[in-house]
């Protein structure tokens, strides 16, 4: 179901041509449109004209008094009813203020000109999933540029990423370490109109605070004795994509400067008063909880609000386990996993570093299997213990040496034997999951009851 609000039917015709297989409802009054939003159970898209003016409809059927901004007022009401449905605001006569308000509402401002064919193309590019194509086409597009998934849980992520691939506004991608934020950022760049322009992944934490400014903004020629002028990444990226990796590591002073670049799209080299124009687009990545950082004062509220308009969160691998076979095939197509081996990874392993953990496991298997390509459960158990930094092989047959190692560890870290037991239980839980079996928890010499009791301590 697609709902359209406009005063003359122009947008209705554009939407009909763009999505001929979809059910579409048209409204010329705001209140009727909002009532339909409230009662629609399968709403897929809402298209709103910014300027709504009908002299033949009573004023009480509209949200505001000014027809020129009626559309944005309707969008604000809509978001109180439905926070997730995609919304397009046709903005041929929009001001900067309208664009800012639309961004905060997670509404996509689109200029649909009088040439209906251009509007049809824009809508189809924004919402390819509504054209009637198989959903697998979207997964295929991203796989071709290096982002592998086949999980329904990831469908919304890919739809957002594809819809926003060409926006000039900052795009924020969040998620736990190893979920694929870097890979998704590069995929978005490769699918965008900037694909032939530079792509720079700038890791903020890789540079000390006193050197970060120069790396970002550049240095004026001969600004210091013996220093040759060099461009920063804001300049080097040109019209391409600049990824600011781990934006949560940026100091508060640098956050102010970044906000100015985003707002004004100009910057200055160090010791230079000549402004330079930022021509690229930002993709910002972080594994940190920025909302909590705002509350603690570590991250500026104004910058947070500015970058949250276009936000993608990648779920952890444990919440999309159906991606595991797909990723294994992508990393190592030559490996054949037995049923028990794949079952262990699908059901009994938590992947603490998400896709990064799976990648390490696959690479260890490739290096250790030698001439074999069949992966057994024993093979998987062996490499998962290695990725969890279990004691070295030399200690397996040396109980005394192992005891000394444990004792030294406890004493040096001011830990008790009870603390150590908790760590062992946690490690075992990470490795085997919560299901008690003789071949897993039984090896520790504890019963199911003991396991559950100790797990809850």
| CATH 1.10.8 in the chain, residue ranges | 325-387
pLDDT the model gives residue 132: 60
pLDDT the model gives residue 304: 95
Based on the number of CB atoms within 10 Å of its own CB, is 214 exposed (0-12), middle (13-18) or buried (19 or more)? middle
H/E stretch holding 38 reads helix 30-39
Based on the number of CB atoms within 10 Å of its own CB, is 144 exposed (0-12), middle (13-18) or buried (19 or more)? exposed
pLDDT the model gives residue 457: 54
Q: Choose which CATH entry (3.30.70, 1.10.8, 1.25.40, 3.40.30) describes domain 325-387.
A: 1.10.8
Dig out the tokens for 414 from the structure. 């001011």
pTM of the model: 0.60
pLDDT the model gives residue 413: 65
- Give the span between the Cα atoms of 416 and 29, in whole angstroms: 71
| CATH 3.40.50.300 in the chain, residue ranges | 136-313
pLDDT the model gives residue 92: 77
| CATH 3.40.50.2300 in the chain, residue ranges | 2-130
Strands 218-219 and 230-231: antiparallel
Dig out the tokens for 209 from the structure. 């605070």
Which region holds residue 266: left if phi is over 0, alpha if psi is between -120 and 50, else beta?
A: beta
- Give the span between the Cα atoms of 28 and 424, in whole angstroms: 66
- Give the span between the Cα atoms of 245 and 172, in whole angstroms: 10
pLDDT the model gives residue 399: 45
- Give the span between the Cα atoms of 36 and 43, in whole angstroms: 9
Q: Which single residue is written with the structure tokens 């950082």?
A: 293
Topology of 2-130 in CATH? Rossmann fold (3.40.50)
pLDDT the model gives residue 396: 37
pLDDT the model gives residue 227: 57
pLDDT the model gives residue 442: 66
pLDDT the model gives residue 2: 92
Class of domain 136-313 (CATH, top level): alpha beta
- Tell me which residues of the chain have a pLDDT lower than 70: 132-136, 221-228, 387-405, 408-409, 411-414, 430-443, 447-449, 451-457
pLDDT the model gives residue 393: 37
pLDDT the model gives residue 151: 82
């Amino acid at each position: 179901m697609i709902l359209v609000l406009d005063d003359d039917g122009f947008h209705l015709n554009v939407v009909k041509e763009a999505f001929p297989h979809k059910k579409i409802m048209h409204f010329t009054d705001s209140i009727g449109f909002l009532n339909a939003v409230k009662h629609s159970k399968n709403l897929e898209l809402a298209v709103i004209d910014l300027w709504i003016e009908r002299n033949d409809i009573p004023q009480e059927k509209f949200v505001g008094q000014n027809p020129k901004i009626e559309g944005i007022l309707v969008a604000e009401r809509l978001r109180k009813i439905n926070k997730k449905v995609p919304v397009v605001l046709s903005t041929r006569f929009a001001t900067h203020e309208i664009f800012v308000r639309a961004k905060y509402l997670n509404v996509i401002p689109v200029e649909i000109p009088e040439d209906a064919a251009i509007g049809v193309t824009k809508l189809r590019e924004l919402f390819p999933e509504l054209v009637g194509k198989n959903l697998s086409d979207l997964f295929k597009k991203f796989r071709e540029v290096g982002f592998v998934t086949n999980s329904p849980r990831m469908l919304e992520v890919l739809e957002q990423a594809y819809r926003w691939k060409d926006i000039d506004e900052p795009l924020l991608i969040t998620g736990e370490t190893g979920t694929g934020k870097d890979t998704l950022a590069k995929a978005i760049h490769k699918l965008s109109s900037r694909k032939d322009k530079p792509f720079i992944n700038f890791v903020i934490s890789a540079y000390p605070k006193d050197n970060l400014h120069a790396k970002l903004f550049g240095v004026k020629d001969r600004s210091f004795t013996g220093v040759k002028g060099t461009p920063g990444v804001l300049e080097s990226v040109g019209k391409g994509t600049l990824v600011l990796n781990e934006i949560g590591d940026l100091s508060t002073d640098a956050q102010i400067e970044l906000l100015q670049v985003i707002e004004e799209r100009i910057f200055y080299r160090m010791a230079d008063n000549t402004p330079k124009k930022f021509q690229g687009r930002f993709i910002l990545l972080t594994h940190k909880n920025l909302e909590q950082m705002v509350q603690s004062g570590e991250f500026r509220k104004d910058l947070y609000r500015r970058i949250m308009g276009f936000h993608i969160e990648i779920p952890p691998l444990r919440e999309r386990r159906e991606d595991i076979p797909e990723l294994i095939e992508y990393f190592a197509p030559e490996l054949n996993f037995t049923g028990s081996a794949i079952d262990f990874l699908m059901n009994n392993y938590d992947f603490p570093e998400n896709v990064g953990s799976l990648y390490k496991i696959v690479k260890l298997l490739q290096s250790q299997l030698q001439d074999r390509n069949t992966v057994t459960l024993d093979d998987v158990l062996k490499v998962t213990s290695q990725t969890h930094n279990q004691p070295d092989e030399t200690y397996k047959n040396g109980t005394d040496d192992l005891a000394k190692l444990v004792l030294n560890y406890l004493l040096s870290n001011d830990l008790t034997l009870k603390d150590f037991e908790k760590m062992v239980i946690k490690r075992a839980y990470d490795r085997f999951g919560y299901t008690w079996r003789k071949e897993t928890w039984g090896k520790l010499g504890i019963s199911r009851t003991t396991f559950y009791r100790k797990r809850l301590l």
